[in-house]
């Protein structure tokens, strides 16, 4: 954070060596070393850097306490701090706040344990003469604690533009302040850039999605900066494996249950319409946006596995081909040769989207995991946001943002478990 320079006074013509600033680094423990970055006399505008002195309020040679904030104080009233940057060897920056008068800077995010930091402090004296100093210190390692590890998903690869990023924690995090620490450390960068945020599904799971679908042919880099960071009492972040994802073409399969038609749109262009059948009364297909979870060339679907009695009017035992899964409870887009006479005219399925074998094979070959399957004009409920697949896109943007620990205004929790429906055909 920078602080605007004050105008030079009547003594501006005095030597640049006047009005040196003393900086105190208060860490609650020792600093392992301090230096001038090997360049005590830098080129302009830092030609007064050699006139700035530093001191440490701790015993020499001991590592700093990572649980205490980093503080820098300008003790000389004739000078002030203009800028501070603090970064560890892994490239993680420490956020901080600078007082309006430039007298003090303090960190606002936690330090990592067992890390080496470099701090660069810029100053100016009462005449506007600039100075700069660089020091390094190492933080100590805490007593034995639990380690909070993060596993990102899905696996590295190429996905459709609807694929959310997931983060699974190995320990529950319930406290809002602790959640904020975790969330700040989970980084998602995409090329092209997008606006997006994390949403806490429950105490151990987060999903990340943009405001709109991902751009086609984007690269998404996911990483955790939690290693060594204090999350809570006896809980610190562990190292986590980063993840790289890519998106393919923008493919959206729009199913109109009332018109009995599925329209495939690729990169904004309609490429095919397919006659389909959807869920009949009592087994209506869910409305809303779903994300392709998997493609299964062959699935045996039996009504007995979901509580429908064998021999009843609704029982079935079918070998299903070219099944594209969109819910974990058993909703698919699949081949249904037994209902070809109704496809395009009536809804006769147990909740799935059925089509001819040839059309199902074409659809199976066209879509990929992460592509969008949206159903409209069905009498069914709306797809659950969580628990039965990826219904994330059925939350509007304000409600999605409200699930972030970094959002102040919260909507009602969306972490409830989804109501799973029987496997259907």
> 207, 260, 334, 350: which one is catalytic?
334
Residue 144 confidence (pLDDT)? 61
* Same CATH fold assignment for domains 146-247 and 251-402: no
Q: Between 24 and 366, where is the model more confident?
A: 366
Instruction: Tell me 385's DSSP state.
Output: S
Say whether the peptide bond before residue 192 is cis (omega within 30 degrees of 0): yes
> 199, 207, 350, 352: which one is catalytic?
352
Residue 197 confidence (pLDDT)? 98
Instruction: Indicate if 106 belongs to the active site.
Output: no
Confidence of residue 413 (pLDDT cuts 50, 70, 90): very low
Confidence of residue 15 (pLDDT cuts 50, 70, 90): very low
Give the DSSP H/E element, type plus range, for residue 147: strand 146-148
> Does the structure show a pLDDT above 90 at 411?
no
Indicate left, alpha or beta for 175 from its phi (over 0: left) and psi (-120 to 50: alpha).
beta
CA 303 to CA 349: how far, in whole Å?
13
Query: Which contacts qualify for 308-315: CB closer than 8 Å, 24 or more apart?
Result: 308/422, 314/350
Give bridge partners of residue 97 from the DSSP assignment: 106
Confidence of residue 76 (pLDDT cuts 50, 70, 90): low
Q: Please state, rounded to an integer, the average pLDDT across all residues of the chain.
A: 83
> Does the structure show a pLDDT above 70 at 48?
no
> Does the structure show a pLDDT above 90 at 383?
yes
Confidence of residue 106 (pLDDT cuts 50, 70, 90): confident
Residue 425 confidence (pLDDT)? 52
Residue 358 confidence (pLDDT)? 98
Give the DSSP H/E element, type plus range, for residue 334: strand 332-335
Residue 7 confidence (pLDDT)? 39
CA 16 to CA 6: how far, in whole Å?
16
CA 124 to CA 130: how far, in whole Å?
4
> Does the structure show a pLDDT above 90 at 335?
yes
Residue 51 confidence (pLDDT)? 46
Lowest mean pLDDT among 138-142, 172-176, 262-266, 338-342: 138-142
Instruction: Indicate if 352 belongs to the active site.
Output: yes
> Does the structure show a pLDDT above 90 at 205?
yes
Contact indicator for 389, 328 with CB cutoff of 8 Å: yes
Instruction: Tell me 40's DSSP state.
Output: S
Q: Between 64 and 287, where is the model more confident?
A: 287
Confidence of residue 29 (pLDDT cuts 50, 70, 90): very low
CA 99 to CA 112: how far, in whole Å?
24
Confidence of residue 55 (pLDDT cuts 50, 70, 90): very low
What token pair was written down for 347?
């809804």
> Does the structure show a pLDDT above 90 at 13?
no
Residue 391 confidence (pLDDT)? 98
> Does the structure show a pLDDT above 90 at 359?
yes
> Does the structure show a pLDDT above 80 at 408?
no
- The verdict on pTM exceeding 0.85 is no
Which three-class secondary structure state does DSSP give residue 297?
strand
Residue 405 Cα to chain centre, angstroms = 12
Report the 3 state secondary structure along 267-290: CCEEEEEEECECECCCCCCCEEEE
Query: Could you please report the per-residue DSSP string of 211-257?
Result: SSPPPTT-EEEEEE--BTBEEETTEEE-----EEEEE---EEEEEET
Give bridge partners of residue 133 from the DSSP assignment: 121
118-157 pLDDT, tens digit per residue, is 999 888 887 888 888 888 888 888 776 799 999 999 999 9
Give the DSSP H/E element, type plus range, for residue 261: strand 261-266
Residue 316 confidence (pLDDT)? 79
Which three-class secondary structure state does DSSP give residue 423?
coil
> Does the structure show a pLDDT above 90 at 174?
yes
> Does the structure show a pLDDT above 50 at 415?
no
Contact indicator for 262, 333 with CB cutoff of 8 Å: yes
Q: 251-402, superfamily in CATH?
A: L,D-transpeptidase catalytic domain-like (2.40.440.10)
Q: Which fold has domain 22-138?
A: Immunoglobulin-like (2.60.40)
What token pair was written down for 320?
């299903």
CA 226 to CA 229: how far, in whole Å?
5
- Parse the chain into domains and list their residue ranges: 22-138, 146-247, 251-402
Cβ neighbours of 392 (radius 10 Å): 24
Residue 67 confidence (pLDDT)? 82
262-319 pLDDT, tens digit per residue, is 999 999 999 999 999 999 998 899 999 999 999 999 998 777 765 666 777 777 778 8
Q: Which fold has domain 146-247?
A: Immunoglobulin-like (2.60.40)
> Does the structure show a pLDDT above 90 at 251?
yes
CA 353 to CA 310: how far, in whole Å?
23
């Amino acid at each position: 954070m920078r602080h605007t320079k004050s105008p030079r006074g009547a003594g501006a013509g005095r030597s640049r060596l006047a009005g040196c600033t003393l900086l105190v680094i208060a860490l609650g423990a020792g600093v392992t070393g301090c230096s001038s970055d090997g360049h005590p006399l830098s080129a302009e505008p830092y030609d007064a850097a050699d006139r700035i002195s530093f001191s440490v309020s701790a015993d020499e040679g001991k590592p700093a306490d990572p649980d205490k904030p980093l503080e820098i104080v300008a003790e000389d009233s004739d000078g002030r701090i203009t800028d501070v940057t603090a970064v560890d060897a892994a490239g993680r920056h420490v956020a901080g706040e600078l007082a309006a008068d430039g007298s003090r800077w303090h960190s606002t995010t936690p330090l990592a344990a067992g890390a080496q930091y470099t701090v660069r402090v810029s100053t100016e004296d009462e005449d506007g003469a600039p100075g700069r100093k660089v020091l390094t210190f190492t933080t100590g390692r805490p007593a034995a604690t639990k380690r909070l590890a993060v596993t990102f998903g899905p696996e590295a690869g190429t996905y459709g533009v609807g694929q959310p990023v997931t983060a699974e924690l190995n320990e529950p995090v319930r406290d809002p302040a602790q959640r904020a620490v975790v969330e700040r450390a989970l980084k998602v960068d995409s090329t092209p850039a997008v606006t997006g945020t994390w949403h806490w599904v429950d105490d151990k799971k987060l999903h990340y999605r943009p405001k709109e679908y991902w751009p086609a042919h984007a690269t998404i880099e996911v990483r955790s900066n939690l290693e060594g960071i204090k999350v809570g009492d006896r809980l610190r972040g562990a190292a986590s494996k980063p993840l790289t994802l890519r998106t393919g073409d923008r493919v959206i399969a729009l199913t109109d249950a009332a018109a009995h038609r599925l329209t495939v749109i690729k990169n904004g262009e309609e490429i095919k319409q397919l006659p389909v059948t959807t869920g009949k009364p009592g087994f209506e297909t869910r409305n809303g946006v779903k994300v392709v979870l998997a493609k299964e060339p062959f699935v045996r679907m039996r009504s007995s596995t979901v509580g429908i009695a064998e021999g009843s009017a609704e029982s079935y035992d079918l070998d299903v081909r070219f099944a594209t899964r969109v819910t974990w409870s058993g909703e698919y887009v699949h081949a249904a040769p037994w209902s070809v006479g109704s496809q395009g005219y009536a809804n006769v399925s147990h909740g799935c989207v059925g089509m001819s074998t040839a059309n199902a094979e074409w659809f199976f070959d066209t879509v990929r995991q992460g592509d969008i399957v949206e159903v409209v004009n069905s009498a069914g409920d709306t797809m659950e946001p969580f628990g039965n697949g990826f219904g994330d896109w059925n939350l509007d943007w304000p409600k999605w943002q409200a699930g972030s620990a970094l959002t102040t205004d919260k909507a009602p929790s969306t972490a409830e478990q989804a109501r799973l429906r029987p496997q259907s055909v």
